[in-house]
Structures are given as structure tokens and as C-alpha cells.
Structure 1
């Protein structure tokens, strides 16, 4: 899988960066340093850096949703910034909970600054997201936009809670796994598109259609993430080789394989039942078992199905062709990306 970041995403990053930097500048010094490091703005010593940040995919969705609703994209910048802040709150906390030591080819924030500092930085971003909406969004739409964001955070937390619970269970079903993905990733992408339309006063049916597009896109995104967690190239993804199998994560491809009723799936189950972690030489065998049991094919097919469903949502939308085309480009990028 390879893909070039769509131009609208790059443009969105340029539009939203000033708002993000302005918001983060108001944080306490030590927290600001951890946040700035995590966002790729500085190194561990506080020296400015270039590159290394996220894809700005969610802010792009917010701005394009505003454009699809017939408004100027910059009217939705507060929503785009808020969504990106919530996304990074979740990443900071996820890295702690998952024990991930590397993100975007650098040590994770908790690894450098400690667990407590990373958790506090995440907390700061969450409250900052709400503050950005309340301070900068137009008053008639600020309340609805804030409600959309806070409801999404609850769904995101529920999804992450399920993910943590799955680590202690051997009987996770494919339906449960997909519901977890819908909460962890689908909910925030749904919010990204919904909030852009809400902020510019779009009619409820437009908000709902764009939200459905975002929900399908989010599920496709998570499914591709799950595949990259097993078969991604570390030099590209910035994560260790076979990362999800090393910690025996019950991601969608794994659960699809475990549910397959095949000999390969049963052999994989043996690895997941062991009390001791897999040895390095066993990881490649586990990846092969997931593929032979059909986990890779099932996940690829499901990701494509959700991308098509996202496209079907766009087809029903009475929106400027430029915005609709850009949203479709992003949908294609999601399934073709390699990081």
C-alpha cells in the first residue's frame, strides 16, 4: 500500500497550525513543552523542529465539510483545531496504555518525560479543545459544536475502554471488535465532518450525511491501521515490526482469523493463549497464520466496503464538486496509505 497525502490535507494543516499553536501557547510551561514535543514542533530539549507532526487528516475533514455545506472553510477552523487537539489527547493516553515506545519515528512522550507528564499533557489538550470552541466559534453554533465534541469524547473513551478490556478476554467477537473500532476511530472522524457542518449552520440532513461519511471513513481508517500494525513497514509507519502481534493485540485481522474456524486460526489461538509473550522468531509465523486464516483478506474487503459506503454518502450530498471530490480523494487515501 502506498499513497500520497491529498493536497486538501496539506492545505488544511497550513490553515489550522496557527490556531493550534495559539491555543497551545496558553498552556503551563512544562505541559506546553511535552505537548509541543508530541505535536512534532520541538525536540526533547525544546529546540524547534520541522516535520514529524501528524497528517492533519481530521482538520481537513472539518474544513472540507464546511465547504461541502456551502461555506468558506476558514469558518470551521476552531472546530478543526478542537478535533485535532482531541485526537492528540487520545494518542498521548493510548501510547501510555499500550506501552508504545515510538511514534512518528521518535520516542513517545511518556518514554521521554514520564507517564504522569504524558497523561497531564493529554488532559490539557482535552480541556483546551473545548476551550477553543467556546472562545472562538460563533456563539449561535458553539453550543451545538461543543456538544458534538464532548459526546464524541465519551464514545472514544468507551471504544478505548473496550480495547483495554479485550486484552483480558479470549472470547472477543468480530462484532465487538468492529464496535470498538467505531468508537476509537469512527466516532472522532464522524465528529470531524459533523462539526464542520455544524459550525457553519448547515441543515441537520447535511450534518447527518457528512457525519455518516466520516463514520464509514473512520472505520476504514482503523481497519487499515490494524493491517499496518501487523504488515506495515517500520521505516514508514514509525512503529516496531509486527508491533500488534508482539503484544498480542486483538485487532480486527487477528479476531477475523481467530473466528475463521481454520487450522491456521486454531494455531494462532494457541499463541494467544500462552501466558508468556511470543518470541521474536515466532512473530513472523503468527503474521503468516493471520493471513492464511483469512484475516488479511477479510479486513481489506471490509475496509473497501466502508470506503464505498462513504462514497455513497457523498453521492447523495448536494455540495460543491470541489469539496465532494476532495472528500473522495481522502477516502481513497485511507485505504491506499502505508502509514
Structure 2
């Protein structure tokens, strides 16, 4: 229901940004040759549609919201890969490696603009409210990304170290805001009551923190063939992630050895990366991150159960939550 509209909207862009956008969505290869296989899980699309139905609206009411969120999500991925220097995405070169940095920035900008055009032109009386919702949530995403980038320059230990609670606040903005927006937009376009929209937004944000916690775990111990990311990539860049911060905060002998390893001179590579990953697990970082994901999933469930929702789509939403973060929790 959503993808044909999404593809049509992208096709209406300038041909060059449209080609790069389609590459980023996974629809085709560099040059526009059609590509077989999945273009992503469609989690945000599912959230938008199911939340509209749960709020008592037909699924069609959420299509523009779902399209806008998919456009914005891909915009953030295009720009994040550039900022983080990530050269691969879904087992192939990131868009900036395939097309160049400037063109990839342009493609992201085009998707950003198109998302607001889609919402502003949505039929019915609630398009303006949807635009305001997306704008506010994107402000949160920017705040979270800014904090994430600033964290990279802070020390691992001492007064300037990043506390776990600060990391979780960052994750709720950077990752949670967009999932919260996906959950809210369908309901907003359907004219759902404010209390219902707020509950769906909070559920999506809690789900986003759970997703980030598990994504951090996969960044350390996931199979690159599955995750599409190089193993230990976050550690190699000395990126602050939840398992590492939780391990450092645990105060165990492994925490001390980990701090000394991370704070040492020179780059981390090879054996040092493997030792660091082992120390994170020994200090309890892996389990702490997964435990946080479980807590956040429970909070998301409580939000959904705390307002009147249509039973069948609400049941699908509850079934979707653990799928989003994976079976490891």
C-alpha cells in the first residue's frame, strides 16, 4: 500500500537525486539497474499504519505519514553515513561512497524537502498538525545526533566521561524521536485524541531506545553478514555505545582493564578490538544493554495498554515490538 506511493514520490524528483535515493532505499544498483532483494524491514511504515488503525482510522489515512517517515529516515541514513564515515550500508557501498559526498548530501536534502511536501499536501484537515509533529521530532533527531558526535570527543573515564543516563537521553532523541514520529503521524493524520497520540509517541520513543541498545550490541558482537556493518566498527572509531559505557560504569576489574585499553595511545585494531569486546562482556556491558532494551520494551507495551485502542491492530503493534529489536531480548 505504501511502497508504490513512496516510489512514485521519489520518481517525481530530479532524476539524479532520485537515482541516489533509490540506491539508498535498495531499489536499484548504481546507475539504476533494478536490484533484487529486500530494501529494509519497513518498520516505520508498519508503525504508522498500525497506529492509525489502532486509533480507529482506516489504514489509508496513514499512507502520507508513512511515506514521509520513510523519506526522512533515509535522509538521516544518507547524512549519518557521511558524518560517521561508514563506508558500507546493507552489505554494499554507502551512497556517499558510490556517488560522492556532495551528491549524497544533495540526495538527503531532496528527501528531507519531499517529506514535508508530502505531509503539507495530505488531504484532510490534519496535514498542518502532521507537519508540526515531523518538524518538532526532527529537531530532536538533530539534538541527539549533535550529542552523539560530541560524545566521541569526550574521555572514557573521569569527570568528562559520558554517563549512561546521558547516553540514554541521547538515544531517545536520535533514534527514539523518529520511531515516535512514525507511531504518531498516522494517528495525527487520522485526527486521533491528543492522549492517544501522546501514548503512541511515547511508545515509539521507548521502542527507539530499545532498538538502539540492541543495535549497539550488534555493533560489537553481530555477524557482519547479517548486520551489514564491519565488526567492532564502533569501537574502532572509539564511539560511545551503551554496552561500553555500562561496562566502564560497572566498577569491576574488567572495567578497569577496559578503561586502560580504550584510553591508550594509538588506534584500536585487530587483537586490541577483540580484547576490548571480551572485556565489555566480562564487565557486564552486553547484558546491561539487553536488560535496558527489555525495560524499554515493557514501557512501550505499558503505553499501548494505557489508552483505548482498537484490539486487532493494537495486538499487531504489541507483536511488532520485539521484532523491531530482534529476538535477542
TM-score, with structure 1 as normaliser: 0.93
Do structure 1's residue 128 and structure 2's residue 114 form an aligned pair? yes
Q: Compute the displacement of 1:337 (Å).
A: 4.5
Do structure 1's residue 263 and structure 2's residue 253 form an aligned pair? yes
Do structure 1's residue 220 and structure 2's residue 214 form an aligned pair? no
Aligned equivalents of 2:110 and 2:256: distance in 1? Answer: 44
Aligned equivalents of 1:260 and 1:299: distance in 2? Answer: 12
Query: In terms of mean alpha carbon deviation, does 103-112 or 242-251 score higher?
Result: 242-251
Aligned to 2:41: 55
Q: Compute the displacement of 1:192 (Å).
A: 0.8
Aligned equivalents of 1:275 and 1:122: distance in 2? Answer: 36
Task: Quote the RMSD (CA, aligned, Å).
Answer: 1.2
Aligned equivalents of 1:215 and 1:313: distance in 2? Answer: 11
Q: 1:145 aligns with which of 110, 123, 130?
A: 130
Do structure 1's residue 334 and structure 2's residue 320 form an aligned pair? no
Q: 1:253 aligns with which of 243, 252, 256?
A: 243
Aligned to 1:65: 51
Aligned to 2:158: none
Cα offsets for 1:82-115 (capped at 9, x unmatched) = 0111111110011011111111111100111111
Cα offsets for 1:237-272 (capped at 9, x unmatched) = 111112211212101111111112222112222232
Do structure 1's residue 161 and structure 2's residue 146 form an aligned pair? yes
Aligned equivalents of 2:70 and 2:265: distance in 1? Answer: 38
Aligned to 1:238: 228
Are 1:304 and 1:335, in contact at CA under 8 Å, matched by a contact in 2?
A: no
Q: Compute the displacement of 1:30 (Å).
A: 1.4
2:2 alignment partner, SS class: helix
Aligned equivalents of 1:274 and 1:168: distance in 2? Answer: 15
Aligned to 1:95: 81
Aligned equivalents of 1:169 and 1:38: distance in 2? Answer: 32
Are 1:246 and 1:278, in contact at CA under 8 Å, matched by a contact in 2?
A: yes
Aligned equivalents of 1:45 and 1:303: distance in 2? Answer: 40
Are 1:102 and 1:238, in contact at CA under 8 Å, matched by a contact in 2?
A: yes
**Unaligned 5+ residue runs, structure 1?**
1-14
Are 2:262 and 2:276, in contact at CA under 8 Å, matched by a contact in 1?
A: no
**Unaligned 5+ residue runs, structure 2?**
156-160
Q: Which runs of 4+ in 1 moved over 2 A?
A: 334-338
1:80 alignment partner, SS class: helix
Do structure 1's residue 36 and structure 2's residue 22 form an aligned pair? yes
Are 2:43 and 2:324, in contact at CA under 8 Å, matched by a contact in 1?
A: no
Are 1:86 and 1:125, in contact at CA under 8 Å, matched by a contact in 2?
A: yes
Query: In terms of mean alpha carbon deviation, does 321-330 or 258-267 score higher?
Result: 258-267
Aligned equivalents of 2:38 and 2:266: distance in 1? Answer: 35
Aligned equivalents of 1:335 and 1:23: distance in 2? Answer: 29
Are 1:52 and 1:104, in contact at CA under 8 Å, matched by a contact in 2?
A: no
Q: How does 1:306-321 map to 2 (within 5 A)?
A: 306-321=296-311
Do structure 1's residue 201 and structure 2's residue 191 form an aligned pair? yes
Aligned length: 323
Q: Compute the displacement of 1:52 (Å).
A: 3.7
TM-score, with structure 2 as normaliser: 0.95
Aligned to 1:118: 104
Aligned equivalents of 2:173 and 2:41: distance in 1? Answer: 20
Are 2:195 and 2:307, in contact at CA under 8 Å, matched by a contact in 1?
A: no
Cα offsets for 1:139-173 (capped at 9, x unmatched) = 41000000000111110011011110011111111
Are 2:232 and 2:273, in contact at CA under 8 Å, matched by a contact in 1?
A: yes
